[in-house]
Amino acid sequence: MRFPRSSLALATALALGASTLAACSDGDGDGGTDGRGGSGASASARASAPPDAWIPGHVAKMSVQEKVGQLFVPTFYSRADALRTIRRYHVGGLIYFPENFGSPEETAAQSNALQKASKIPLVLGVDEEQGIVTRTPFITRFPGNMALGATADPAQARAAARVTGAELRAVGINLDYAPVADVNVNPRNPVIGVRSFGSDPARVSRMVAGAVRGYQDAGVAAVAKHFPGHGDTATDSHTGLPVISHDPDEWRKTDAPPFEAAIGAGVDAIMTAHIVVPELDDSGDPATLSRNVLTGLLRERLGYDGVITTDSLRMEGVRTKYGDGAVAVRAIQAGADQLLMPPDLPEAYEAVVRAVESGKITERRLDASVTRILRLKQRRGLFREARADPAKAASVIGGARHEATARQVAEKAITVVADRGEVLPLKGKTVAVTGPKAETLAGALRDQGVRTASPGSADVTVLTTDDAGSATAARVRALGGKPVVVAALGSPYDLNSAGGAAAAVAAYSSGTASLRGLARVLAGTVKPTGKLPVPAGGQPVGHGLDYR
């Protein structure tokens, strides 16, 4: 999505005299009578101006310290700590982690207190991808992106994101650092894997667009990550600096399409990756600090003019060459707008202020970032109303409709990859279950009318795995001569080592909804509909068996 940048829009904004945000210093999140300030302007001028026309005029009146503060989204340890941070550094937002949550009612009240302390509404974000990356203790649990990819249905991605977004917004969280837009083409990827929608750029693109729209349906800003693409690495950027060998043509065909789809869907922000791609920038700097990548590729080639946020600046992948203050300055110089989780907020903040005062970062460059950030907040309605309703928060969380959506996604994802021994479905057979979550799956099978027994007396054994990798083959052999069904509860790549099994099934998740969906498919209560989102078990993307 492009934003109005014409001289006419700027002139209109200045004419409106947007002295607005003094009006929201009481923390009610309302930027004046019409949500964009300039309440003294004529009704006809307001009607003809874009909704965010007031923003450039307001930015021009902010101090350097206030502008720099808008660039930062730090962590916090307590409400008191957050309030001090807001007042001292004028931060643009805060990120929630599990320790920041209480009950839904308590969390909503805390979010309101944080908003009240800030003159400009805050981005209150969380890294809630669902699946294996979840931060919110009370949220409705969905399987992760690879399960959604197995449904091959963007409507499922949109529905899941809409539920997640609605529950986040109910407690005052207005931005989710999701969806992952990486195309996972490396089975050994230690940091993306099932967080990705799959290995097919076209399918990943459709699912990313669906998810972006789902979050925005719920009034929550979506963040596509990790640009320029983290799907082909065997190094975790939390602990090292990955190097990806994609050349420009491969990047254009494999990594770029999901980000283009996100931009087409109006994504609010795009997160950078702490990875080196020498064919895109030979400086040795990670993409987060690369002007070639952020400004050259994302801004100029893909035409993106929304917010660019860094990944966490605490990660080792961005701290290998420069000090924490220099990293913050270099990220802004490269084209980033927001600095997520600086390890030392005072150091990073002062470094950026000094860089502006010395001219290393021009005020024009600073103003461009602050303008984008305020436009994001405008689009998500934060100047109209940033508060949550604590009394209603718990009633939005969970509930029959949200749980039903989670069950539907999980069930549609279950993929039968192989049935060489024609042992599926299991109803009418005596079944033993062994491996991770064995007791839970056995109980779910019994609920579907399947008899369970010990391995010695069972007709079939279901062996569950959860990222077992090559050890899967040995576990199949250890179970002896009776038919074995391997059910991968994590990475479907486990099925690459399940050649000795009679059948192989991918569930992509060990969550309750996925285990129940798996039981229903194994029992034959429902037919399997999932299709592989990555090559696995000797089968290509798009493969999936049905029951005849």
Q: Are 197 and 533 in contact (CB under 8 A)?
A: yes
- State residue 58's pLDDT score: 95
Interval 66-83: pLDDT, tens: 999 999 999 999 999 999
Q: Are 415 and 149 in contact (CB under 8 A)?
A: no
- State residue 22's pLDDT score: 32
Instruction: Give 3-state DSSP helix, strand, coil % of the chain, rounded to 5.
Output: 45, 10, 45
Interval 449-504: pLDDT, tens: 999 998 889 999 999 999 999 999 999 999 978 999 999 999 999 999 999 999 99
- Given pLDDT bands bounded at 50, 70 and 90, which one contains residue 9? very low
Interval 311-349: pLDDT, tens: 999 998 889 889 999 999 999 999 999 999 999 999 999
Residue 478: other Cβ atoms inside 10 A: 10
Strands (DSSP E) found in 142-196: 175-176
Domain chopping of the chain, boundaries: 1-61, 70-396, 414-523
| Count of CA atoms in the C-beta half-sphere (13 A) of 483 | 18
Q: Which helix (H) or strand (E) holds 451?
A: strand 451-452
- Domain 70-396, CATH class in plain words: alpha beta
- State residue 236's pLDDT score: 75
Catalytic residues: 238, 311
- Superfamily for the 414-523 domain: Glycoside hydrolase family 3 C-terminal domain (3.40.50.1700)
- Given pLDDT bands bounded at 50, 70 and 90, which one contains residue 548? confident
DSSP 222: E
- State residue 34's pLDDT score: 34
140 to 16, 97, 352, 428: CA distances (angstroms) = 44, 17, 39, 33
- State residue 308's pLDDT score: 98
DSSP 78: S
Interval 151-190: pLDDT, tens: 999 999 999 999 999 999 999 999 999 999 999 999 988 8
Interval 277-317: pLDDT, tens: 999 999 999 999 999 999 999 999 999 999 999 999 999 88
Print the SS3 string covering 377-438: HHHCCCCCCCCCCHHHHHHHCCHHHHHHHHHHHHHHHCEEEEECCCCCCCCCCEEEEECCCH
Question: Taking Cα atoms as reference points, which of 48, 23, 26 lies closest to residue 35?
Answer: 23
- State residue 31's pLDDT score: 35
Q: Are 72 and 35 in contact (CB under 8 A)?
A: no
d(CA 104, CA 114): 15
- Given pLDDT bands bounded at 50, 70 and 90, which one contains residue 129? very high
Phi-psi map region of 199: left, alpha, beta (phi>0 left; psi -120 to 50 alpha): alpha
**What number is the average pLDDT over the span 202-206?**
98
